[in-house]
Structure 1
Amino acid sequence: MNADNLVDLASRAMGGSVVYANDESFADRENLINPGPARFNPRDFGAKGQVYDGWETRRRRESGSDHAIVRLGAPGLVHTVLVDTAHFTGNYPPQAAVDGCCVDGYPSPAELATAQWFPLVDRSDLTGDAVHTFPVGEPNRQARVTHLRLTIFPDGGVARLRAHGVPLFDPDLLPAVFDLAAAEYGGRVVDCSDRFYGSPGNLLLPGLAVNMGDGWETRRRRDDGNDWVLVELAGAGGVHLLELDTTHFKGNAPGWAEVTDGNGRTLLPRTRLQPDTRHRFRVTDPGPVDRLRLDIHPDGGMARLRAYGSLTAPARDAVAHRWQRATTLARDLR
């Protein structure tokens, strides 16, 4: 699977949370999972000293290490971990390790302290002001992960922690009707014509877009073509309602849009769009489909794409099988 098409399972945009850190004397733990790159102003000082857009612990005067625990916004399979020390130059940790665990329900930090963790990234060297990419090896990358534990040796600052992978939603909690394109359920972008101003993966994020940068926007076309994005759904199902949201896109919304399935069958014929508007369209021939192609004419920006429907019985069974296999493996790795 192309890394560009993986979801950051830990991101605040997906509902992730940093539920615990043993120390955050200089910079708050919550910064670890903020969307977007870390910011830095060398003249920005506060009561704790230089302000850092990351997590920073005190200078240790005793042996040991520091750690933070992240609840994934979308539990799933972690393929790649990114540890970003952006702007931390004389205060980054020399080494770090990342572990995962698979815990049912909504455990407290105290309960997570006694969880059975398994390694995703072995203790590895870090450098300052750099993005470190660590592929997760087999079989651990096939195990379902609900929480991450970042351990830094011995102390210091990390700007961002990313966990790129594939969501695996608990089938017992899967609604009968839901957004089949949603990233949190396993929908993903597999191809697109252009991503000049914004990632097409933003189309599938939870919630409403907060601004134009939280959507997908293409460059201005100077030819007779149009832009498009291809989405693989969480599973094959019948799509009954489409939502095309141009919120925040005012002078740069597409003029028209159409939606087809993976075989070219039309779900929404070419239709006029309005700027800064959530458009909803009933689908008269709902499927089943496993892919959607959104064509925008000629170019522009879209905040969100929703495809509300129900999985077929075989697709729901396949989701349950993948979840059970990954959960069993995680328990075996303990």
Structure 2
Amino acid sequence: MADSPREGKVARPPDFTQLIDLASEFVGGKVLFATDDFFAPAENLLKRDKPRFKEYAYTEFGKWMDGWQTRRKRIPGHDWCVVQLGIQGAIRGFDVDTSYFMGDHAPRVSIQAANFEEDKQPEIPQREVRTATAATPEEFEAISELKSNDWSCLVPMTELKPGNPASSHNYFPVNSQQRWSHIRLNIFPGKYDGPSPGIRDWTAGNPKEPLDLVTIAYGGACVGFSNAHFGHPNNIIGVGTAKLMADGWETARRLDRPLILEDGILLVPGCEWAVFRLAHPGVITQIEIDTKYFKGNSPDSCKVDGCILTMQEEEDMVRQKWDLQGHKWKPLLLVTKLKPDERHVLDSLTPELQDVITPAKLTITPDGGMSRLRLKGFPSSICLLRPLEKPMMRFSVTAGFRENL
């Protein structure tokens, strides 16, 4: 049973909430330490799904809550936890969500951050998800290696609103260009998501090794789509392989598909599409389309196109729902038959390093779903991307992610 308190009118969230949640368990975020997990573990902070409320659910320790809830403080100090981001990147804002914590929410919060290179991160013992426990002296000693008390402060101590539906989201914009890898959340006597774009040092690495230029890990993002009834297109540029069908993009069945199908490529009047801004302008040399888990609902075929746009042109296209004149798109992959539950590795039509693109458009016919899209290639020295201090172009979606605005 999943009842919830009375709904109220919810204000429009800020633009940064449309960015990638770098701390989510979906991209590999994990809790390294928490001072206390008595009623509910800190791992709940990183769940990809919205908080749930179960009116009659209780544990042996008290009310079941889908968040992080510590015992009432009776000893010196305050509670805090350390999160290792799944993707290192610049943080544009925090959403401290107090949903359903009406009489027991944390009154105040502050947030700190630090950046550790992957090969220089101190070893912190893996923590188990637990309740009715506090951190041990050994855990305090291990986490002290990070010196989190001295981390940069991104959000000073600030009061929080209680968790009624109309005001449970406490938004904190962040004006920082720095790359971060770890977050310390302090609560004072609570749940948080930190959406923001990934950042990559494009001067590092092997210049002869192609990179996935569309992955969210480097800053790629979906900037428009036709339909996302069962899953958002941002999912298919996620980190690693999909774990289940819900990790992919799936559209509703098109009502204009043929009543009787013929052999060969399915010829239909309609299709579905999604446009992705590359993390860096570049040349695509290889395309991977993975339909893993989509066994009876994969697309019949797909194609991929690209073009080069300035920041202003991209913003204009978002407003026009990507009704871009066909001659501007460059074909990267012609219409190609797809197989269900299979990884397709395909060569791009731009083997010569000259056809630079900034966004890519994936078109599937007539509908269906896939788990991953990889656009591998080489970043170009031509950089037309928007400056980092400008927030990602907004696109809003209706309930069910049915279409972009």
Q: CA deviation at 1:163?
A: 0.8
- One-letter code aligned to 1:234: A
Identity %, equivalent residues: 34
Distance 2:164 2:200 in 1: 35
Q: CA deviation at 1:237?
A: 2.1
Cα contact 2:109–2:159 (8 A) shared by 1: yes
Cα contact 2:17–2:195 (8 A) shared by 1: no
Distance 1:70 1:165 in 2: 15
Matches within 5 A, 1:2-151: 2-3=15-16, 5-62=18-75, 64-104=77-117, 105-107=120-122, 109-110=143-144, 111-120=146-155, 122-130=157-165, 131-137=168-174, 140-151=175-186
Distance 2:67 2:205 in 1: 34
Match of 1:278 in 2: 343
Q: Which runs of 5+ in 2 are unaligned?
A: 1-13, 125-142, 257-268, 308-327, 390-405
Match of 1:305 in 2: 373
Cα contact 1:120–1:141 (8 A) shared by 2: no
Q: Residue 245 of structure 1: which of 281, 290, 302 is its match?
A: 290
Task: Determine helix, strand or coil for the equivalent of 1:78.
Answer: coil
Residue 122 and residue 222 in structure 1: after superposition, are their counterparts in 2 closer, same or farther (change >3 A)?
farther
1:208-266 superposed Cα distances (whole Å, 9 cap, x missing partner):
22222211112222243211111111212222211111222233221111001124111
Instruction: State how many pairs are aligned.
Output: 314
Task: Determine helix, strand or coil for the equivalent of 1:202.
Answer: helix
- One-letter code aligned to 1:178: L
Match of 2:221 in 1: 188
Q: 2:271 aligned with 1:226, yes or no?
A: yes
Cα contact 2:108–2:157 (8 A) shared by 1: no
Q: CA deviation at 1:293?
A: 0.4
Match of 2:265 in 1: none
Q: CA deviation at 1:195?
A: 2.1
Distance 1:118 1:174 in 2: 31
- One-letter code aligned to 1:153: F
Task: Determine helix, strand or coil for the equivalent of 1:164.
Answer: coil
Q: CA deviation at 1:314?
A: 5.1
Over the aligned positions, Cα root-mean-square deviation in angstroms equals 2.7
Q: Higher Cα Rg: structure 1 or 2?
A: 2
Distance 2:26 2:162 in 1: 27
Q: CA deviation at 1:91?
A: 2.5
Q: Which runs of 5+ in 1 are unaligned?
A: 324-334
Residue 128 and residue 63 in structure 1: after superposition, are their counterparts in 2 closer, same or farther (change >3 A)?
farther
Distance 1:303 1:129 in 2: 35
Q: 2:302 aligned with 1:265, yes or no?
A: no
1:61-115 superposed Cα distances (whole Å, 9 cap, x missing partner):
2454211111212222211211122333333212222222334431453223243
Q: TM-score, normalised by structure 2?
A: 0.70
Residue 135 and residue 93 in structure 1: after superposition, are their counterparts in 2 closer, same or farther (change >3 A)?
closer
Q: CA deviation at 1:47?
A: 4.4
Q: Which has the higher strand share?
A: 1
Q: CA deviation at 1:304?
A: 1.0
Task: Determine helix, strand or coil for the equivalent of 1:167.
Answer: coil
Distance 1:133 1:45 in 2: 27
- One-letter code aligned to 1:285: T
Deviates more, 1:161-170 or 1:35-44: 35-44
Q: CA deviation at 1:206?
A: 1.0
Task: Determine helix, strand or coil for the equivalent of 2:112.
Answer: strand
Q: CA deviation at 1:32?
A: 1.1
Q: TM-score, normalised by structure 1?
A: 0.84
Match of 1:153 in 2: 188
